[in-house]
Chains A and B, each alone.
Chain A
Amino acid sequence: MTVREALNSALDEEMSADPSVFLMGEEVGEYQGAYKITKGLLDKYGPDRVLDTPITEAGFTGIGVGAAYQGLRPVVEFMTFNFSMQAIDHIINSAAKSNYMSAGQISVPIVFRGPNGAAAGVGAQHSQCYAAWYAHVPGLKVLTPYSAEDARGLLKAAIRDPDPVVFLENELLYGESFPIKAEVLDSSFSVPIGKAKIEREGKDVTITAFSKMVGYALQAAEILSKEGISAEVINLRSIRPLDRAAINASVRKTNRLVTVEEGFPQHGVGAEICMSVVEDSFEYLDAPVERIAGADVPMPYAANLERLAVPQVEDIVRAAKRACYRSS
């Protein structure tokens, strides 16, 4: 199943099961979705439940949050999360904080979803990763699926969740196909929020990653295994809440950690993971924590520069070797 099919089927099934779920975003209806994630849903559910919006993120995000105050379950699509910055006041101040400020009277069962991070050649304003930004905020849940199983299960869990969820997809993963177990196809399938998945077990070094970087980390683990280093790859799945228990359990086993993310390094997800391990498992570390992140520069356009600005498999391999004191 491709990630695209996984997302489309999850939306379809949740809309079918609960009439209060509706979709809103640019091109989600007649155009069948800017990336075809919402294909066929307008025909099936009609224009009252699949709404094409004007190009007005602040306005339609506010309308979605207001509808959620009244108990509807909107799924608001941002064509990319770069455009969510136009609406970020509503995501944070109107959605994330309302349950707390109202002492539980108002709950906001909304999902904000869309592609996040770098695509290919789209330039500086269309390539930023917002995982660290949204994960900073109490009151939000932030999910980062990698595989088709992740996409299907986490999106279903997000739609059923009574609180605001930021669902960060990746454009380059939409077309990628993954093998899935039969239970994933069941309409009640979901993946628990806040639990990471060990994609590959190992004993020498822990590599944490999310979204597209999980694939790169798995490739790096394969290369490392040929050089005698057994890497454990953790697919975080959930940036907020972060599965600190799983990360620390793994580091206590391997004693070495490499964090991988595509976004800018400063104040990023890797910094939080490192601190979590220092707080809970410092004595277990045999080497400093290594951080692999995107370059600290707005994303360049030229293909060779773009390649240098995002992590590559070789970077993860090199970092793992440094953590194992085997760099050449």
Chain B
Amino acid sequence: PPSAPVPRHRIPQIPLNPARASRASPAMAAAILRRLSPAAAQRAPPRLLPPTLARGVSDSTEPLTVETSVPFTSHIVDPPSRDVSTTPRELAAAFRDMALMRRAEIAADSLYKAKLIRGFCHLYDGQEAVAVGMEAAITRRDAIITAYRDHCLYLARGGDLVAAFAELMGRVDGCSRGKGGSMHFYKKDANFYGGHGIVGAQVPLGCGLAFAQRYRKEGTVTFDLYGDGAANQGQLFEALNMAALWKLPVILVCENNHYGMGTAEWKASKSPAYYKRGDYVPGLKV
């Protein structure tokens, strides 16, 4: 006779405790609860209301020129002009997106400390301008890949805020159906390829995305994000060599927050001039 079926472990679902969730904010908690209840599946997701302000914010599309506060430093390439042309509407939208990301990351921090988010939770507060600024310069046909500090990159690519939180809390409504977690957010239809847990692995992967863009002659580029900790990974230099040999349309973006896990930059990197580390590859310090 065949053997008895192997008993499967049931992973207990963490019950959603409204009292604990409301530490984030009452409006956020209500939005999450409405979204995650069974009845919510029948309704459209609730719109988070814009805050009321003492005075209006301009949504003018009149062109506006801003000079960047710090000049660019470059390596074997001419630095771009410090003058950036934009509009009040674009700047206001950028500020709103960054403020949303900041609030979202702080809320995630609270949920993590409340043990409603398990495992790892790498936060992007302080780095929002990189994601938002990059999006302003590219299209959704260009590709982005990053490591595990990926919540805001997902949002910047058009990811759903509640789906992000559902993923962090391990729910089936999450952007990876609860199977990925904090480090594995993806949005393929917006050319966002994750969400990678192994430090530095995303660098060759991003060069591969650029390889496919060149192979198919798409005329698009890949932004391959990594941190000052990953900057020392050997596979970065392996991939950079091939990217230069094969002229791949990839931009390696080092987000230097001066710490690799708990180790300060000056203890890990002999040369902190990451923009020069490409040697034969042009670099820009932003």
Q: Are B242 and A69 closer than 8 Å at their CB atoms?
A: no
CA of A94 to CA of B198, assembled, Å: 9
Known contacts A51-B246, A70-B143, A103-B176; is A94 also within 8 Å of B211 by CB?
Answer: no
Binds A, one of B68-76, B118-126, B179-187: B179-187
Known contacts A58-B204, A66-B207, A103-B180; is A72 also within 8 Å of B195 by CB?
Answer: no
Q: Does B235 contact A (CB under 8 A)?
A: yes
Q: Does B33 contact A (CB under 8 A)?
A: no
Q: Are B194 and A62 closer than 8 Å at their CB atoms?
A: no
Known contacts A54-B242, A72-B212, A93-B198; is A105 also within 8 Å of B188 by CB?
Answer: yes
Instruction: Output the least CB separation between B254 and chain A (Å).
Output: 17
Give residues of chain B (55-92) contacting chain A, Cβ–Cβ below 8 Å. Answer: none
Q: Name A71's closest neighbour in chain B (CB-CB).
A: B212
CA of A316 to CA of B239, assembled, Å: 46
CA of A228 to CA of B85, assembled, Å: 89
In the bound complex, residues from chain A placing their C-beta under 8 Å from that of B206 are 66
Give residues of chain A (48-87) contacting chain B, Cβ–Cβ below 8 Å. Answer: 48, 51, 53-54, 56, 58-72
Q: Does B145 contact A (CB under 8 A)?
A: yes
Q: Are B205 and A62 closer than 8 Å at their CB atoms?
A: yes
Q: Are A62 and B207 closer than 8 Å at their CB atoms?
A: yes
Q: Does B260 contact A (CB under 8 A)?
A: no
Q: Are B3 and A67 closer than 8 Å at their CB atoms?
A: no
CA of A71 to CA of B191, assembled, Å: 12
Give residues of chain B (113-146) contacting chain A, Cβ–Cβ below 8 Å. Answer: 143, 145
Q: Does B12 contact A (CB under 8 A)?
A: no
CA of A18 to CA of B180, assembled, Å: 32
Q: Are B211 and A63 closer than 8 Å at their CB atoms?
A: yes
Q: Are B195 and A62 closer than 8 Å at their CB atoms?
A: no
Q: Are B194 and A67 closer than 8 Å at their CB atoms?
A: no
CA of A70 to CA of B209, assembled, Å: 6
The residue in B197, B208, B245 that gathers the most chain A C-beta atoms within 10 A of its C-beta is: B208
CA of A63 to CA of B195, assembled, Å: 16
Q: Does A201 contact B (CB under 8 A)?
A: no
Q: Does A327 contact B (CB under 8 A)?
A: no
In the bound complex, residues from chain B placing their C-beta under 8 Å from that of A43 are none
In the bound complex, residues from chain B placing their C-beta under 8 Å from that of A282 are 3
Within 8 Å by CB of B234, from A48, A53, A58, A61, lies A58
Q: Are B242 and A94 closer than 8 Å at their CB atoms?
A: no
In the bound complex, residues from chain A placing their C-beta under 8 Å from that of B213 are 70
Known contacts A101-B184, A105-B186; is A59 also within 8 Å of B204 by CB?
Answer: yes
Q: Does A90 contact B (CB under 8 A)?
A: yes
Q: Name B167's closest neighbour in chain A (CB-CB).
A: A103
Q: Are B235 and A58 closer than 8 Å at their CB atoms?
A: yes
Q: Name B235's closest neighbour in chain A (CB-CB).
A: A58
In the bound complex, residues from chain A placing their C-beta under 8 Å from that of B3 are 279-280, 282
Q: Does A106 contact B (CB under 8 A)?
A: yes
In the bound complex, residues from chain A placing their C-beta under 8 Å from that of B234 are 58
Q: Are B180 and A62 closer than 8 Å at their CB atoms?
A: no
CA of A282 to CA of B206, assembled, Å: 49
Within 8 Å by CB of A58, from B177, B187, B238, B246, lies B238
Instruction: Output the least CB separation between B133 and chain A (Å).
Output: 24
Within 8 Å by CB of A63, from B177, B198, B204, B237, lies B204
Give residues of chain B (214-257) contacting chain A, Cβ–Cβ below 8 Å. Answer: 215-216, 234-235, 237-239, 241-242, 245-246
Within 8 Å by CB of B205, from A20, A22, A69, A100, lies A69
In the bound complex, residues from chain A placing their C-beta under 8 Å from that of B212 are 66-67, 69-72
Known contacts A67-B208, A102-B188, A103-B177; is A93 also within 8 Å of B201 by CB?
Answer: yes
Q: Are B188 and A59 closer than 8 Å at their CB atoms?
A: no
Instruction: Output the least CB separation between B231 and chain A (Å).
Output: 15
Within 8 Å by CB of B203, from A62, A67, A71, lies A62
Q: Does B149 contact A (CB under 8 A)?
A: no
Known contacts A94-B196, A100-B179; is A106 also within 8 Å of B186 by CB?
Answer: yes
Q: Are A67 and B215 closer than 8 Å at their CB atoms?
A: yes
Known contacts A94-B196, A101-B179; is A63 also within 8 Å of B242 by CB?
Answer: yes
Q: Does B2 contact A (CB under 8 A)?
A: yes
In the bound complex, residues from chain A placing their C-beta under 8 Å from that of B188 are 102, 105-106
Q: Does A89 contact B (CB under 8 A)?
A: yes
Instruction: Output the least CB separation between B162 and chain A (Å).
Output: 16
Q: Are A102 and B204 closer than 8 Å at their CB atoms?
A: no
Enumerate 22 A-B pairs (CB-CB under 8 Å) in ascending A order: A54-B245, A59-B204, A59-B241, A64-B208, A66-B204, A66-B210, A69-B193, A69-B205, A70-B208, A72-B212, A72-B215, A89-B201, A93-B198, A94-B198, A98-B194, A101-B186, A101-B194, A102-B186, A103-B176, A103-B177, A103-B179, A106-B188
Closest 4 CB pairs of A and B: A66-B208, A62-B204, A59-B238, A70-B212
A53-B242, A59-B207, A64-B208 given; name 14 further pairs at CB < 8 Å: A58-B204, A59-B241, A62-B205, A65-B204, A66-B206, A70-B212, A71-B212, A90-B201, A90-B205, A98-B194, A101-B195, A102-B176, A102-B188, A103-B177
